[in-house]
Structure formats: structure tokens, C-alpha cells
Amino acid sequence: MDSEKHPRYQAAMVSIYCPETSFLNHLVMPDGTEQSYGSDILTRLHSGEVFIVNSRKRNGLILFKRYHAEFAGPGAAVGGDYDCDCQRVLSIGNLSLLTPESYEERQKAYLIRRQWIRLIRQITENPIPQQRVQKILDQFEQYFPPEMVVDLPDVAFALLVGVLPQTVGMIRRLGSDENCRLNY
């Protein structure tokens, strides 16, 4: 066979296990300050009660799960069984959580949460990491004031769209300049 004439290359897999480190243990904001993990909010989410992110305000929550993050924007349900696996939270804007007053209001909030998840899923379906980052940044900048988005840590966006935090940092530094192409 032709392939037998060509030398074969094997790549060695190198793994470094650091049990004391995790993205979520070192959530540092772009200005260098450490972010509080919202333990009060997390306690409320783990109480089993369901809340709704106030739809009348530009606010939301990034919910850090074990291997990814989810965004719950205005009108979305949070808490209950849905977020019992949430490890950390990061509030965006002046967070306001409301208690649903009826079954219908609760159902509507769950549907809105699904819409936020679908939006992020559509972004992550793009196979090019840099484009995923640019799209999530664009989406957040359309909804929240740019100065608020700038203050969000790279790791939050990375876990939302499945890229490395370094990729988010590079895209943020380069901006949306189409002439700058990153190759991985």
C-alpha cells in the first residue's frame, strides 16, 4: 500500500493534572480584581426555590456548571432542580430575582430559559472557536452596555461557548478586525 511507504507520525499525549486548580477557583476580572462568586445568590438557587430574572431590567446570571456555563437572561427561570448542579454564579447588571406568582408565569420563565440556551447553542455550533467568541461578545454587547461586557472575565465567555479563556483574551485584544486571522 502507498501509506506504508510514508513514515507514520505519532503524537505523544501530555497531561498535567493539577487538582488544586480550576477555572472557577480563579475567576479574575479583566481589571485584576477577584470576583465574588455570588454565594448569597448561589444559596438561594440551591434552596430548591424557582426564581425569575427580572425581565424589566438589563440583568442576568452566568451559571457555572461543572464543565460549562449557561446564561440566564431577563425573563428566565433559575433555581429549582434545574440549577442544583450550579457551582458558581456571576451576576450581570443590577440583578433582580423575582418569585413566580403563578404556574403560568413559571412555565413562561422556563420557556424563556430554553430560548437563552438555544441562542448560546446556536453560537457553539460554529466549528471555529474565534468566531464563537466574537459572536458571544457581539450578542452580549448588543444587550448590555459595552463597559459592563468589558468587565466580564474571559473564563465566563470561554465556558459559555466551549473555548479556552486565552482564545477569548486574544479576540478581545484584537477586536473584530477581519484582517487578523488566528490559526490553531
Query: Which whole number is the average pLDDT over 143-172?
Result: 96
Residues above pLDDT 90, as percent of the chain: 72
Half-sphere exposure of 184 (CA within 13 A, CB side): 10
Instruction: Let me know if residue 180 belongs to a domain.
Output: no
pLDDT at residue 38, as a whole number:
60
pLDDT class of 54 with cuts at 50, 70, 90: very high
Instruction: Let me know if residue 74 belongs to a domain.
Output: yes
Instruction: Let me know if residue 183 belongs to a domain.
Output: no
Of 121-125, 139-143, 177-181, least confident by mean pLDDT is: 177-181
- The Cα–Cα gap between 97 and 104 comes to 17
pTM of the model: 0.75
Query: Which whole number is the average pLDDT over 2-12?
Result: 44
Structural domains in the chain (count):
1
Which has more pLDDT, 162 or 39? Answer: 162
- The Cα–Cα gap between 138 and 157 comes to 11
* Domain enclosing residue 122, as ranges: 2-174
The radius of gyration computed from the CA coordinates of the chain, to the nearest angstrom, equals 19
- The Cα–Cα gap between 129 and 114 comes to 23
154, 165 Cβ separation under 8 angstroms: yes
pLDDT at residue 175, as a whole number:
76
Which has more pLDDT, 18 or 1? Answer: 1
Which has more pLDDT, 159 or 25? Answer: 159
Instruction: Let me know if residue 108 belongs to a domain.
Output: yes
What's the mean per-residue pLDDT of the chain?
Answer: 82
Instruction: Let me know if residue 36 belongs to a domain.
Output: yes
Instruction: Let me know if residue 184 belongs to a domain.
Output: no
CA distances to 43, 127, 184 from 46, in Å: 5, 34, 39
